[in-house]
Amino acid sequence: MTAQTWRELLPAWSLALLISAALVWAGWHWPIPLLEQAWAQANPGSAEALALALVLGLPAVMALLLVLRMRRHRDRGESIDCVHGER
């Protein structure tokens, strides 16, 4: 990998590491599972909606960002080698 590739990947990898660290920190400070907390027992619909948003929402946002980036660069999903005419 070239130095430029590393510089391009560094922000995404740093963000992923930061999110992972935040999730680990939250796990230590939030020992009771989401759906077993008192407020979730009182409002099960809200807790289920929040759980679904956390589980499905974040991957959906990531997929949307990838699709938008592909469209911005007029990428159709080809291999990088094929784009530059190499086989």
Is residue 51 domain-shared with residue 87, that is, in the same domain?
Answer: yes
* Confidence (pLDDT) at 71: 77
Total number of domains constituting the chain:
2
Closest CA to 35 of 21, 24, 20, 49: 49
Quote helix, strand, coil % in the chain, to nearest 5.
80, 0, 20
Instruction: Say which residue, 24 or 84, is predicted with more confidence.
Output: 24
- Counting residues of the chain whose pLDDT is more than 70, the rounded percentage is 82
Predicted TM-score of the model (pTM): 0.44
pLDDT tens, position by position, 16-51: 889 888 888 887 887 788 788 888 899 989 888 988
Q: Which of 64, 38, 35 is nearest to 51 (CA)?
A: 35
The pLDDT of residue 83 = 54
DSSP run (H or E) holding 3: helix 3-29
Are 22 and 46 members of one domain?
no
Same domain, 21 and 48: no
Pick from 8, 9, 15: which is nearest to 61 by CA?
Answer: 15
Averaged pLDDT for residues 2-24: 84
Q: Write out the residue range of the structural domain in which residue 60 sits.
A: 37-87
